[in-house]
């Protein structure tokens, strides 16, 4: 049961040696149960002095303590420390990154609902008037023939048809599942950016070659990366770092999912305006006059359809977008309706 918890649990004996730890604690301390059992807390690498001191103080006065933001091998943790009988001590550590991801997952559900509402409104409120516009333009084209105004009427018809096709695709997008080499997808997205930017934006690759193929839609994932690259380019970025890593602990974990692929896109552009950060992945939110506000919302939907998550962090200079995708997906039928 302990291994099913996201919370790291460690029990120390009277000599501060580890008697018990669960799977989340292995991630927390960066070591396995077998190696850690019987080892003194002070002999584990990366244990901050304030945590060791709090354990000693709790054993001495039997008072429960709470430490905030302890930096450990697995990331940043809040820690509860309480005394047990026979001078034993129990540690409970809460991964703050996981808590942040849980909040982001909740926000993603809100964003999904808003995007579904937008789809329905696009179909009803926009396509119906477009039909009337196209009908009027068709009558004008028939009446005016090859005159200049007739040509303009046919241009209106073509543009209406194009908008109608975009709305249709927007409402009916569906993933084509296969196995995906994320590095091949990334290379293809880089080529598209270099063509768009004329080589003015430099991209550095930092790939983990151990990453396996994962289930997904290569075209859709390429669209996500292209969107992130173009956003960085349009924000004035001169340098983009594309980094891939494996994560063994994540709030995204579901039954049948053992590891997460993390794809970081970090740039040195202007970053995201402060007033946009909280609603960045909502539809129709954009910081550019010519932007549609749909790119990041759709990118988040593609991530969600893969069982993943797209998140944002501000940098001192620029932005960091992180795409997390499960390697093993227990439900291969995820799709965008």
At 202, which CATH number? 3.30.565.10
pTM of the entire predicted model? 0.55
Provide the pLDDT for residue 307: 82
In a domain, 256, yes or no: yes
Mean pLDDT, rounded, for 269-277: 73
Residue 304 lies in a domain: yes
Task: Verify that 144 and 85 share a domain, yes or no.
Answer: no
* 179-214 pLDDT per residue, tens: 889 999 999 999 888 877 777 788 999 999 988 888
Helix pair 96-121, 295-305: axis angle to 10 deg: 110
Same domain, 65 and 36: yes
Do 130 and 164 belong to one domain?
yes
21 with 153, same domain? Answer: no
Does residue 311 share a domain with residue 236? yes
Which range scores top for mean pLDDT: 89-103, 174-188, 323-337? Answer: 174-188
- Strands, DSSP E only, in the chain? 8-12, 18-21, 65-72, 75-83, 89-95, 178-180, 202-206, 214-216, 239-247, 260-267, 309-314, 319-326
In a domain? residue 337:
no
pLDDT digits (tens, 9 = 90+) for 129-179: 888 888 898 888 888 887 788 888 888 888 888 777 666 655 555 677 788
Confidence at residue 177, expressed as pLDDT on a 0 to 100 scale:
77
Cα separations in angstroms, 72 against 27, 36, 159, 283, 328: 9, 15, 57, 37, 27
Whether residue 315 lies inside any domain: the answer is yes
User: In this predicted structure, what is the pLDDT of residue 86?
Assistant: 86
Q: Is residue 311 part of a domain?
A: yes
**Of 139, 154, 172, which residue constitutes the final position of a domain?**
172
DSSP secondary structure of 314-327: E-SSSEEEEEEEES
Mark whether 152 and 214 lie in a shared domain.
no
- pLDDT greater at residue 207 or residue 71: 207
Q: Which of 134, 157, 172 is the last residue before a domain boundary?
A: 172
Residue 14 belongs to domain with CATH number: 3.30.450.20
> 212 with 303, same domain?
yes
- Asked if the structure places residue 150 within a domain, the reply is yes
Q: Which domain holds residue 23?
A: 2-99
Domain annotation covers residue 44: yes
- Per the structure, the count of domains in the chain is 3
Q: Which of 41-55, 109-123, 153-167 has the lowest mean pLDDT?
A: 109-123
pLDDT for the residue 329: 45
Q: How many residues does the chain have?
A: 337
Are both 165 and 182 inside the same structural domain?
A: no
189 plus 319 within the same structural domain? yes
Could you tell me if 223 and 161 lie in one domain?
no
Is 123 inside any structural domain? yes
Q: Which of 172, 202, 219 is the last residue of a domain?
A: 172
The answer on 132 and 252 residing in a single domain is: no
Q: Are residues 198 and 147 in the same domain?
A: no
């Amino acid at each position: 049961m302990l291994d099913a918890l996201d919370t790291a649990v460690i029990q120390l004996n009277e000599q501060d040696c580890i008697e018990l730890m669960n799977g989340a604690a292995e991630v927390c301390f960066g070591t396995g149960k077998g190696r850690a059992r019987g080892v003194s807390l002070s002999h584990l690498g990366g244990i901050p002095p304030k945590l060791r001191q709090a354990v000693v103080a709790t054993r001495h006065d039997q008072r429960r303590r709470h430490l905030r933001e302890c930096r450990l091998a697995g990331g940043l943790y809040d820690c509860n420390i309480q005394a047990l009988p026979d001078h034993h001590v129990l540690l409970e550590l809460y991964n703050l990154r996981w808590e942040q991801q849980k909040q982001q997952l909740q926000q993603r559900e809100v964003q999904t609902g808003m995007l579904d509402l937008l789809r329905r409104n696009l179909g009803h409120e926009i396509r119906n008037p477009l039909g009337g516009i196209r009908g009027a333009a068709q009558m004008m084209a028939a009446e005016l023939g090859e005159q200049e105004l007739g040509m303009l009427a046919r241009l209106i018809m073509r543009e209406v048809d194009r908008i109608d096709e975009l709305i249709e695709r927007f409402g009916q997008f569906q993933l084509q599942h296969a196995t995906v080499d994320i590095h091949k997808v990334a290379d293809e997205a880089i080529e598209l950016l270099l063509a768009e930017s004329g080589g003015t934006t430099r991209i550095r690759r930092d790939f983990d070659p151990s990453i396996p193929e994962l289930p997904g839609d290569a075209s859709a994932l390429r669209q996500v990366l292209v969107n992130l690259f173009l956003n960085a380019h349009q924000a004035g970025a001169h340098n983009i770092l594309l980094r891939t890593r494996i994560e063994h602990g994540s709030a995204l974990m579901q039954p049948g999912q053992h590891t997460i692929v993390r794809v970081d896109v970090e740039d040195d552009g202007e970053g995201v305006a402060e007033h946009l950060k909280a609603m960045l992945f909502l539809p129709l939110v954009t910081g550019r006059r010519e932007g549609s506000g749909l790119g990041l919302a759709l990118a988040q939907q593609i991530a969600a359809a893969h069982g993943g998550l797209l998140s944002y962090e501000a940098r001192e200079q620029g932005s960091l977008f992180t795409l997390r995708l499960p390697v093993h997906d227990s439900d291969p039928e995820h799709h965008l309706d």
